[in-house]
Amino acid sequence: MKYLVESDREGDKAVCCNLCFCSRKQRFLFCGISSLILLVVIGFVLTVLIKALTVEERFQRLVLEDSPRLLHPTKEEKQAWAEKLGEAIKIQTVSTSEDQLSFPELLELHSYLKSAFPKVFNSPFVEVTTVNNYSLLLEVTGSNPTGDVYMIAAHLDVVPAGDTSQWDHPPFLGEVIEQGGVNYVYGRGAIDDKHNLIGILEALNQILVDGGQPDLSFYIAFGHDEEVSGHQGAGHIAGVMEHRLQQNNQTLQFIIDEGMFVSTGLFPGMDDAVINIGVAEKGWATVELEAKGGQGHSSFPPKQTAIGVLGAAIANLEGNPHPAMFKRGPEYDSMEFLAPHANFQTKIALSNLWLFSPLVSAIFAGDPTKDALQRTTTAVTMVSGGIKENVLPPSAKATVNHRIHVSSNLEETLRHDVEAINDDRVTVRSKGYFPPSPVSDFADSSTPFQIIANSALQIYPGGHITPGVLIANTDCRHYLHLSDNIYRFSPVHLRANDTRRFHGANERISVDNFAEVVGFYYRLIKNSDIYLQQDSGRAKATNKLRQGESALVKVLQGNSEQQLDEEGSGSESSYFLTAEDTGDLELITESGDLELITESGDLELITESGDLVTPSTGEF
């Protein structure tokens, strides 16, 4: 049965299934708005999908060599290299605290290194300096040295084995064992950090065999107390290096030390290997919380003792983590670098971070390891209070360890702690602080980043480059004043269940993977010879154009010409120009905000009016 009313009809026709009481004008307006919303939603979805389907590679690799020479060790050579690593592992260079170092074992390791690598330690091209009795600094003189040098670093010490009952074998076994059909070098230091120590020396050894010599000079630094601050090791090496660089009129183009690694299975939606090059490391702060109370007999206690007040403060602090800073650090760039290589579902999110960054941040928050990348972390590590079971505690204290996000600082950290605790009875004070490191350049135009990336890709050709933040600290913190380009990368290949081996039980590295570690350092030295030499003959333009401006740089008598920022963004970018023969440089800019310098710093021009400037550079 149909129910009709007068307003349901227009003329003699019922409208909207006989149930609509709207006028024609109202219906038209409603349908128009609904259609517009639908079109916007469809357009929005299409934009997201198109961006995911067309996402471009963020990292543009500059191939240094078409057919690079790689090491191709035989099975016997791989075994021999692994046995060298094993012998180093057997020497228990354990650092327990700054006051508990293994000095006899460190000297024993020195002796072993000299006997295992006589070509290195007896080479006329290698000057070995013992720093502060237990650290080592090697200066390798190249056959074609320039003022541009670099430094490769590792450390000699390891952390204690901990609970040995959790190890399948003795922690300092240092033998090659078979597990699951794979041969591993087993023991403390296998991936932190004796694999780098022995890998660096073996790579140099391979170059020096039969009278070889690197083209460029470089340094190798081995600190002896990295695991307990590095003050006595890398801290002293830094002073020696500062003097050495000044004495030799050298510029340290980059430093590479332990840090991030090659991984498979750690990034959701990524099946391929990820080559994560650390471009920064988090800072740290030790914070003390103290609550005071009245000492008295426990038979008539207050509603909250000092321990109770402190306990509530700790609960508030842990229940209110520091805010996520996903858009403020390199972790955001990391996701953009990986976007083209993720599966489609993940690619949708990573290629549209302008929309999905809150979702990605929330996913990070569900995993403590990933969450540590995007925020300042809080760990309550020590608690003390009370003097006797029947005496009210006069005070209670807790020690909190913060690892500070690269975009944050001590002031911001303490302010959050005070606000989270929200109790005037609790005193919050800093007991120690080291700021986050600067972020090293990972742009395509960065020579050091290209060298490290190429070296890694030559060993792991199926991997994908991404910059990362190291959540721990390394000896690099002592070298920050020596170079602007400091990278934290260990060329070990780890799977998802391997990360727990860092400072944990059953530390190991496969024999094949250790051969890849050696191969990486070999290519690092070779690539530095090629690219640092080429780069020293380039002119570098640093572009600081205003929005919408453009500039043109030409080499008048050479073959190079490059337009810089046809639509200037206002941000700084770097460009390299290479002339096949000597020529003058011609600089044209609208505002004059373009600085043109050579890598050696002998030319610096800033226009003021935007007029034509044609300085002569001579050979560059």
Q: What is the pLDDT of residues 446-495, one digit of tens each?
A: 999 999 999 999 999 999 999 999 999 999 999 999 999 999 999 999 99
Determine the pLDDT at residue 1: 43
pLDDT (0 to 100) of residue 480: 97
Catalytic-role residue among 157, 225, 371, 599: 157
Percentage of the chain exceeding pLDDT 70: 82
State yes or no: pLDDT of 310 exceeds 60.
yes
Over the stretch 385-435, which tens digit does the pLDDT of each residue have? Answer: 999 999 999 999 999 999 999 999 999 999 999 999 999 999 999 999 999
Report the alpha-carbon distance of residue 539 to residue 289 in Å, rounded.
54
Q: Are 365 and 324 in contact (CB under 8 A)?
A: yes
* 15 — pLDDT class (breaks 50, 70, 90): low
Split at pLDDT 50, 70, 90, the class of 17 is low
257-261, 367-371, 468-472: segment of lowest average pLDDT: 367-371
Q: What angle do CA 124, 125, 131 make, to 5 degrees?
A: 95
- Size (the chain), residues: 620
140-144, 169-173, 394-398, 593-597, range with the lowest pLDDT: 593-597
Between residues 339 and 29, the one the model is more confident about = 339
Segment 200-215 mean pLDDT: 93
Q: Do domains 75-280+439-535 and 282-434 have the same CATH topology?
A: no
Q: Which of 33-47, 65-79, 143-157, 289-303 is least confident?
A: 33-47
Average pLDDT, the chain: 86
Output phi, psi for 260, to 5 deg.
Answer: -70, 175
Between helix 511-535 and helix 447-459 the angle, nearest 10°, is: 150
Look up residue 598 and give its two tokens: 């050579």
Classify residue 470 by burial, with Cβ atoms within 10 Å: 0-12, 13-18, 19+: buried
Other CB atoms within 10 A of residue 523 CB = 26
- Kind and range of the H or E run holding 487: strand 486-495
pLDDT confidence of residue 21: 62
Q: Report the CATH fold assignment for 75-280+439-535.
A: Aminopeptidase (3.40.630)
| Residue of 136 and 577 predicted with greater confidence | 136
Q: Examine the residue annotation and report whether 257 is marked as an active-site residue of this protein.
A: no
226 an active-site residue? yes
Model pLDDT, residue 67? 79
Q: What is the pLDDT of residue 29?
A: 79
Residue 4 region by backbone torsions, left for phi larger than 0, else alpha for psi between -120 and 50, else beta:
beta
- Residue 414 CB partners (closer than 8 Å, separation 6+): 285, 287, 428, 430
590 pLDDT higher than 80: no
Contacts of 514 (CB under 8 A, 6+ apart): 78, 81, 82, 85, 185, 195, 199
Determine the Cα–Cα distance for residues 368 and 361; give it in Å rounded to an integer.
12
Does residue 561 carry a pLDDT above 60? Answer: no
Nearest Cα to Cα of residue 213 among 141, 284, 157, 275? 141
User: Looking at residue 38, what is its pLDDT?
Assistant: 86
At 474 the pLDDT is 97
Please give the DSSP secondary-structure letter assigned to residue 185: E
The band of 614, judged by pLDDT with boundaries at 50, 70 and 90, is very low
185 forms bridges with which residues in the sheet?
A: 176, 509
Which of 226, 331, 535, 565 does the annotation list as catalytic? 226
Mean pLDDT along residues 87-95: 98
Q: Which of 268-277, 304-313, 444-453, 558-567 has the lowest mean pLDDT?
A: 558-567
Contact status, residue 109 vs residue 91, Cβ threshold 8 Å: yes
Which residues are within 8 A (CB) of 129 and not within 5 positions of it... i.e. 6 or more apart?
Answer: 136, 137, 138, 139, 240
For residues 212 and 205, what is the distance between their CA atoms, to the nearest angstrom?
Answer: 9
For residue 126, the cross-strand partners are 140
Percent pLDDT > 90 in the chain is 74
What dotted CATH number matches 282-434?
A: 3.30.70.360
Residue pair 529/150 in contact (Cβ under 8 Å)? The answer is: no
139-148, 545-554, 556-565: which is most confident: 139-148
**For position 593, what pLDDT does the model report?**
47
d(CA 524, CA 186): 26
User: What is the residue extent of each domain of the chain?
Assistant: 6-53, 75-280+439-535, 282-434, 539-606
Q: Assess whether pLDDT exceeds 80 at residue 514.
A: yes
